[in-house]
């Protein structure tokens, strides 16, 4: 009997590994079929072109703006100051000491290179990634606050609060985000910026209308989660808190919301991941986030296959990190 069950277990384990093998086979065959199909249309993969969109070295040349003579070069650590004496006066240029291309006493003319060196610059994809991250984080923070207050207003007995909350939630959830972004930028943005211009105040850049659209969009969904979370907490909790003399606000703050937020953490995580992905729509109002940046690079580099894969991967990095972070929070709270 013993040997038989051992055999069974061995068989089970072998089956397990077989299915793992099947999984990887599936993965490899998808990759290969894409590669093969690309060969069929004579697509040339040029992965080596991709890193430059993350970071690249820029050639920097510092040029003289006057004719004259190099009067002095004074070095201070890694910096050097080149003083050029011309007929109409003296100009000084600060350059890296190691990249000098002139010496003291050299005669130079307008446009001559004084120093030439390479400098690392952040590529457009990294800039896009950073902007996506920034927009998402700001929108998430505002979304949480909007959601919290709207969620509480939603279950208030005051009709002004309650109906405002319901109207807001239904309107936001009932229309496409793309349309909302257009309204924020082309309608509200135009109105607001005209108003500001008429009063001589600086314009609000498109970025903030994009953030507002995303925050309001997320806020409506968060509000419904907050409402459900609060309502899921047993009535006895409120009664116990209030019977101790706590006000409504204090009992919300110390008793109800901490428990409710803990419960809605998993759906909140999903909502925030959606928000990161939805930020890709902001490209339509000239915000150069990751998707818009990728599109621009594609039009100049003509390597769409690599770039869109990289773009998707970068989103995955963002969303996966967020999901890990929230899972960590969730687990920590379960222990505590």
Partner 1 sequence: MIVAKNISKTFKSHSTEVKALVNVTAKVDKGEVVVVLGPSGSGKSTLIRCLNYLNVADEGSIVIDGIDILDPKTDINKVRAEVGMVFQSFNLFPHKTVLENVTLAPMVVRKNSKEEARKKGMALLEKVGILDKADVYPDQLSGGQQQRVAIARALAMEPKVMLFDEPTSALDPEMVGEVLDVMKNLAREGMTMVVVSHEMGFAREVADRVIFMDEGAVVEVGTPEHFFTNPTHERTKLFLSQIL
Residues contributing to the site for partner 1 (CB under 8 A): 234, 236-237, 239-247, 250, 254-255, 258-259, 262
CB of 333 to partner 1, least distance (A): 8
What residues contact residue 98 under an 8 Å CB cut-off, 6+ apart?
78, 117
CB of 43 to partner 1, least distance (A): 56
Q: Is the dihedral of CA 199, 201, 206, 211 positive or negative?
A: negative
Residue 88 DSSP code: S
Q: To the nearest whole angstrom, how small is the minimum distance from the Cβ of residue 234 to partner 1?
A: 8
Min dist CB 245 to partner 1, Å, is 3
**Sign of dihedral through CA atoms 209, 215, 220, 221?**
positive
The least distance separating partner 1 from the CB of residue 256, rounded to whole angstroms, comes to: 10
Residue 249 Cβ vs partner 1, minimum distance, rounded to whole Å: 10
- Where are the strands (E) in 215-289, listed by range? none
211/252 with CB nearer partner 1: 252
- Taking the least distance from each CB to partner 1, the nearer of 176 and 258 is 258
CA gap 150, 173 in Å, rounded: 14
Cα-flanking dihedrals φ and ψ of residue 20, to 5°?
Answer: -60, -45
Beta-carbon count within 10 A of 226 CB: 25
Q: Which is nearer to partner 1, 262 or 295 (CB)?
A: 262
Q: In this complex, which beta carbon is closest to partner 1, that of residue 83 or of residue 262?
A: 262
Angstrom CA distances, 79 to 63, 98, 105, 130, 317, stand at 16, 8, 19, 31, 39
User: Would you give the distance in Å from CA 216 to the centre of its chain?
Assistant: 17
Cα 2 from chain centroid (whole Å): 57
Pairing of strands 55-63, 113-122: antiparallel
- Nearer to partner 1 by Cβ, of 78 and 234: the residue is 234
Q: How far is the CB of 228 from partner 1 (least distance, A)?
A: 18
Q: Which is nearer to partner 1, 200 or 245 (CB)?
A: 245
CB-nearer residue toward partner 1: 258 or 266: 258
User: Do 115 and 93 contact (CB within 8 A), yes or no?
Assistant: yes
Residue 240: which H helix or E strand, with range? helix 235-243
């Amino acid at each position: 009997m013993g040997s038989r069950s051992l055999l069974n277990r061995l068989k089970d384990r072998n089956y397990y590994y077989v299915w793992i093998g099947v999984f990887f086979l599936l993965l490899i065959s998808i990759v290969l079929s894409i590669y093969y199909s690309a060969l069929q249309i004579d697509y040339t993969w040029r992965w080596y072109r991709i890193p430059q969109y993350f970071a690249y070295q820029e050639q920097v040349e510092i040029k003289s703006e006057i004719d004259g003579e190099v009067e002095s070069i004074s070095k201070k650590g890694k910096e050097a100051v080149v003083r050029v004496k011309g007929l109409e006066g003296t100009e000084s240029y600060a350059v890296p000491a190691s990249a000098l291309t002139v010496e003291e006493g050299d005669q130079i003319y307008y446009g001559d290179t004084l120093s030439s060196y390479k400098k690392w610059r952040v590529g457009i994809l990294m800039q896009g990634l950073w902007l996506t991250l920034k927009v998402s984080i700001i929108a998430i923070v505002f979304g949480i606050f909007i959601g919290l207050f709207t969620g509480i207003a939603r279950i208030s007995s005051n009709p002004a609060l309650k109906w405002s909350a319901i109207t807001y939630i239904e309107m936001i959830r009932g229309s496409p985000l793309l349309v909302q972004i257009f309204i924020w930028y082309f309608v509200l943005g135009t109105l607001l910026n005209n108003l500001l211009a008429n009063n001589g105040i600086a314009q609000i850049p498109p970025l903030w209308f994009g953030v507002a659209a995303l925050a309001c969009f997320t806020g409506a969904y968060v509000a419904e989660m907050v409402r459900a979370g609060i309502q899921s907490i047993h009535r006895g909790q409120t009664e116990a808190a209030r019977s101790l003399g706590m006000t409504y606000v204090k009992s919300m703050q110390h008793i109800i919301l901490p428990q409710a937020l803990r419960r809605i953490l998993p759906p909140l995580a999903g909502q925030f991941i959606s928000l990161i992905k939805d930020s890709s729509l902001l490209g339509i109002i000239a915000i150069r986030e990751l998707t818009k940046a990728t599109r621009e690079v594609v039009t100049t580099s003509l390597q769409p296959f690599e770039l869109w894969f990289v773009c998707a991967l970068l989103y995955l990095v963002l969303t996966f990190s967020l999901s890990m972070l929230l899972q960590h929070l969730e687990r920590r709270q379960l222990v505590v």
